[in-house]
Chains A and B, each alone.
Chain A
Amino acid sequence: MWGRAQASRLRYVNDQHPMLPDELIRRALAERDVSNWRADDMLHHFAERRQHDQGMSAVEPQKSRYRTQLFPKSAKLGNWIAVAGLAVLLGAGGLISHLATISESPLNSVVTYRTQNSEHAEMTLSDGTVVRLNVDSEIDIPYNFGNTQNGRSVNLRGEAYFHVTHTVGSPFVIQTSTARAVVLGTEFGVRAYDSTNVRVAVRSGKVALNDVVLDARSVGTVNGHSPVMVAQNQDVDAALSFTKGQLVLSRTTLRDAIADLNRWYDVEINVVNTAYNSEQINVVLSIGSINDLMDFLRMLFPATITREGRTITIS
Chain B
Amino acid sequence: MRTKTALVELLKDSRDLRVFFKGCCEASAARLRVQSWQFRDELADRSYVVNLREVQDSVFELARDLFPESPGADFVTWAGLLCGDALARLQERYASLSPEEKDAMDLSGAWCHNDAVEEACRNEDLPAFRAALKDYEREALEAVERVREESGAA
Bind each other: no
Write the residues of chain B forming the contact surface with A, with a CB cutoff of 8 angstroms.
none
